[in-house]
Chains A and B, each alone.
Chain A
Amino acid sequence: MTEDQLADKMPITKKAGIISVMILAFFAYFISESLLRQAAVSNINPQSVNVEGLLTKLPSSMRDSVNQKIETTRLRNAIRDAKTDADKVQAISSLADFTKEPGQRDWLYASVLKEYPSQPESYRAYAAFLMSNGAVQVSVQDYHRFVSLFDSMTAYNAWIAGMNKLILARVSLDDQIKFLSPLLDETPSYRDYSRLYQEIAKIATSLKKEDLAEQADSLANFCKGLPTIDETVKKRAEAAKAAAQQKGK
């Protein structure tokens, strides 16, 4: 190294000085950046931002995975924020139906069966394992026991979910009719049940069980004169509102 080069080399004190200035500058940078970021973020109203619009600008491969991530996070947040058991079960069930992670769906539904076995909203978990061959199984008897816990209005969704599961799983018609048969012993209360009776009639006709088909047909016809579940709920809400108003007066 020549003498000139040595003279040109930065002295240690000067180097230390610059580094001290830089440390101070970094300190000021991080503090001011944090304040400015908070000011910028505090103006934001996430609800007013069209996230879907932003995502459409991404390449399709990336968009799908980001969408999946956003929806999964939203559902996980819904589970965390749920205040009642009903909300929690609904949120877990929605995540179970949405998730694409292998084994996650069964794990989530199994946790519902374990922790909320008597919750009306747990019907999706029962339906998921109805007559399945996996580690967790729900027999037709278990399902009937679950449905019997609730009134006709609450049980309707459970019946529909169970029936759909058996149809999708291509379970034999005998098993399907075995699953739906308790309905034949009940007097329906809502028009919505006609769908279930029509299904029984259809299966019974296929199985050449005319007696059952006739009985299911007559119950389906009986249902047509009944109010729907929606109408009943609406009427009850209106009655409750009127009663509250009367009480207020």
Chain B
Amino acid sequence: MWGVTLLTLMKMREPSFYIIAAIGVLMGYCVSEVEPLSNQAATDSIISQIVVSESGGASLLTSSFFAFAMSIILAIFVGATEIPRDIDSGMIMIILSKPIKKWEYMLGKYLGILLLCLVFFFGVEAIIYLAHLLKTHEFYGPVLMLRQFYLVMAFLPLVAVTVAFSCFFGDLASMIVTSMYILFSLALGFIPIMVAVLPRGVAAGVESYIFILYYFFPNYVFYFQTFKLIGIVPISLAVYSVAIATIFLSIGAIKLQNRDLSANG
């Protein structure tokens, strides 16, 4: 399994990774001084209800949001293509001829892509903090800096989704389906907030149907809210991330187990 992870991490040596890393560094430097999301959102907007908390807590920097968005793109590009390309090239048959199970292969791929995304995210975050230090001669507060790294939890379901879809489709179809699915997830994440701000009973009748649809998508909006670093929210967020990742990886494992993995299959 670790061998597959290391094999996936070899992607970091490819020119395409250098290009996307360079874009990430440049963007990290440019957006380092953008105000936090909580200062940017209009006070009467839905977003402000998420990122502004009256009970205090550390908020997300807009620059971290950019770093996260870039990492999503990387996760989709790499995560959605790795397994289909291994199948197309016959590489998967070579790997599976070793004493490794299919689910271990998939888990190895998952960990590899996850580490790749984390390296990228940490790198861009480091550039953001350094750029802030260079421009203002001040460090961000430790609590604020730590809060940004809680976004790491969002990569667990995100990468699991991309890997799970890649077990079903070819590389291009997988990229498209994953992108659409993540976009839908981001949009549908606002459903609970919308229901809460509308007058009581407006959504009655359709509320249960909306929530059934909502449960089919991970809610990435939870990762953007302002919360205290120690408490029920971060613990729930960790459980939530692991649970979704497990569900998607299990689905992927079942599919991979039953799929014809030959190159012309």
Contacts and interface: CB of A to CB of B under 8 A. Distances in A.
Interface in B214-240: 215, 219, 221-222, 225-227, 232-233, 236-237, 239-240
A68 B106 CA distance: 51
Interface string A24-68: 111011011101110111011110111101100000000000000
Interface in B42-75: 42-46, 48-50, 52-55
Interface size class of A (residues with CB under 8 A): 35 or more
A22 B247 contact: yes
B185 interface: no
A243 to B, nearest CB: 39
B236 A32 contact: yes
A181 to B, nearest CB: 45
A48 B202 contact: no
B209 to A, nearest CB: 15
Contact of A39 (B46, B204, B227): B227
A26 B196 contact: no
A39 B236 contact: yes
Contact of B49 (A21, A29, A49, A70): A49
Given A25-B246, A29-B244, A73 B258 contact: no
Given A36-B219, A48-B43, A10 B257 contact: yes
B163 interface: no
Contacts of B49: 43-45, 48-49
A170 interface: no
Contacts of B198: 46, 51, 70, 73
B213 interface: no
A39 B50 CA distance: 10
A40 B250 contact: no
A40 B192 contact: yes
B250 A21 contact: yes
B197 interface: yes
Contacts of B243: 25-26, 28-29, 32
B154 to A, nearest CB: 12
A43 B59 CA distance: 13
A90 B197 CA distance: 25
A31 B232 CA distance: 12
Given A25-B247, A32-B236, A41 B196 contact: yes
A179 to B, nearest CB: 39
B247 A41 contact: no
Contacts of A202: none
A35 B236 contact: yes
A207 to B, nearest CB: 49
A205 B6 CA distance: 100
A36 B222 contact: yes
Contact of B237 (A24, A36, A54): A36
Nearest to A55: B198
A15 B103 CA distance: 12
Contacts of B240: 28-29, 32-33, 36
A32 B197 contact: no
Interface in B146-183: none
11 contacts: A10-B257, A21-B246, A28-B240, A31-B239, A32-B237, A32-B243, A33-B219, A43-B49, A44-B193, A54-B194, A74-B199
